[in-house]
Amino acid sequence: MSYFAFLTEHGPTLLLGTVTTIKVLVCSAILYVIISMIFGLMRLSKNPAIQGIATVYIEFFRGTSLLVQLFWVYYVLPFFGLSLEAFVAGVVALGMNFGAYGAEIVRAGILAVPKGQWEAAHALNFSPTKRIKRIIIPQIFPIILPPAANLTVELLKATALVALVTVVDLTFEAKQINSITWLSAQCFGTALLIYYIMARFALVPFLRWLEVVAARKVGR
Amino acid sequence: MEMGFRWDFAYEILPQMLWATLNTIIAAGVGYAIALVVGLFFLLGQRTPSKIVNVINRELVEFIRSTPLLIQLFFVYFVLPQFGIKLSAWLCGMITIGLHFGTYLSEVYRGALEGVSKTQWEACRALNFSTVYTYRRIVLPQAFPIAIPGMGNYLVGIFKDTPLLSTIGVAELFHAATAVGGYNYRYLEPYTMVGIIFLTLSIPAAMWVRNLEKRVNVAQGKVKQ
């Protein structure tokens, strides 16, 4: 079977899987950004209890393997009466895992904001919430976006794992087609190419654009 | 089915899990050793004067870095036999991990070499040292400490990615847990134990790397003790 014939026959299936992969990516990216912000801020709290919770969370999720967390959420949580759909389980596991890595980026970003900004906000009698929300957060984006972009490309790669908990994404479809046709080179090669195109020509340019916008917003 | 964590069952499967942990450690160690060497080859490709080699090398690294390790594993495991190369799951896994993380390590090496001040090269040139001598006695001893934290991080990273090997049938920790879980229809204890074993191994390792990083920074005079 020529490669062209392979594409006309199985291309649509792979593209359908790609749509699911994109859905997983977008949902887990939103979740991981929210978690990173919350735990990044908690990590800098002066309250030892709040800081402790954040530290335990981050160490736990960074210390264990994503695949283990994914399987735990999908196969073990039902033991505690919480059955999640495969898609939801995948998004939750990805979001929580990458949220732990993101929280460290957010923490470093906040620490990198010059001290004078804190002092000026203090001098102007801003409340602590307003200080964080209006002065500090807007300034961290140019600092955190480059490392966050790397993390997001890692996230795209990590979405492949959700296929192992039966989410019908690109990897799952590729595996499925492989087990029917045994055209391994074609189906896994195509899947690799699709991931590469998504990362190199869609996700990375988008993230670079975000970096430019963020830098412009703070007048750089 | 009994709910809650069954300690007796956990105790029963503990020896099996610990044996499998040994396999995980071996896989991580061998994969890392291969990655260290592969990283050197990618570094060489980057630094050769030939433009064509540079471009091919860069695109290859970019490709490997932006595609999932899982599919790379499948690719190597399923495609090589079609070309008559029959390798065991273990070997496929080690090669893939070595190749995947080798690209990351080549970036670590590159960063370390670029971290050595250009004046060092110029000084060696002025003293009429050969290139080999310059690398061996001047540049590498200074670059190595810069590379240590990055190299340590990827050791921990490889360790945490070894569960992926279970998908092609390498009998490491996660594979054992899935097997035990499937046999007994209980996944709570095996998967929880895998998590705990990973934590007990990777947290000290990560702390050790962080400590190393601090010591390197102090030794380089970047921060005061």
d(CA A65, CA B83): 33
Domains and CATH numbers, chain A: 3-217 (1.10.3720.10)
d(CA A115, CA B88): 57
Name the burial class of residue A93, with classes exposed (0-12), middle (13-18) and buried (19+) by CB atoms within 10 angstroms of its CB: buried
Number of neighbouring beta carbons within 10 Å of residue A75: 17
- The helix-helix angle for A86-112 and A137-158 (nearest 10°) equals 140
pLDDT higher than threshold 50 for residue B225: no
**Beta-carbon contacts below 8 Å between A and B:** 109
Q: Residues of B78-96 as b/e, b for ≥16 C-beta within 10 angstroms?
A: bbbeeeeeeeebbebbbbb
CATH 3.90.470.20 applies to domain B7-219: no
Record: contact A189-B82, CB cut-off 8 A: no
The H-assigned helical ranges of A78-203 are 86-112, 115-123, 128-130, 137-158, 170-181, 184-198
d(CA A20, CA A23): 5
Instruction: Measure the CA angle with vertex B170, ends A83 and A186; round to 5°.
Output: 85
Domain residue spans in chain B? 7-219
Record: contact B74-A178, CB cut-off 8 A: yes
pLDDT higher than threshold 60 for residue A6: yes
Which range, of A15-29, A189-203, B60-74, B77-91, averages the lowest pLDDT? B77-91
pLDDT higher than threshold 50 for residue B6: yes
Select the residue of A164, A196, A199 nearest B167 (Cβ to Cβ): A164
- pLDDT tens per residue across span B97-106: 999 999 999 9
- pLDDT tens per residue across span B66-110: 999 999 999 999 999 888 888 899 999 999 999 999 999 999 999
Return the structure tokens found at B170: 């390498």
What integer pLDDT is reported at residue B73 of this predicted model?
Answer: 95
What integer pLDDT is reported at residue A128 of this predicted model?
Answer: 86
Select the residue of B4, B82, B206 nearest A184 (Cβ to Cβ): B82
Asked if residues A69 and A61 have their Cβ atoms less than 8 Å apart, the reply is: yes
Name the burial class of residue A115, with classes exposed (0-12), middle (13-18) and buried (19+) by CB atoms within 10 angstroms of its CB: exposed
Asked if residues B138 and B117 have their Cβ atoms less than 8 Å apart, the reply is: no
What integer pLDDT is reported at residue B193 of this predicted model?
Answer: 93
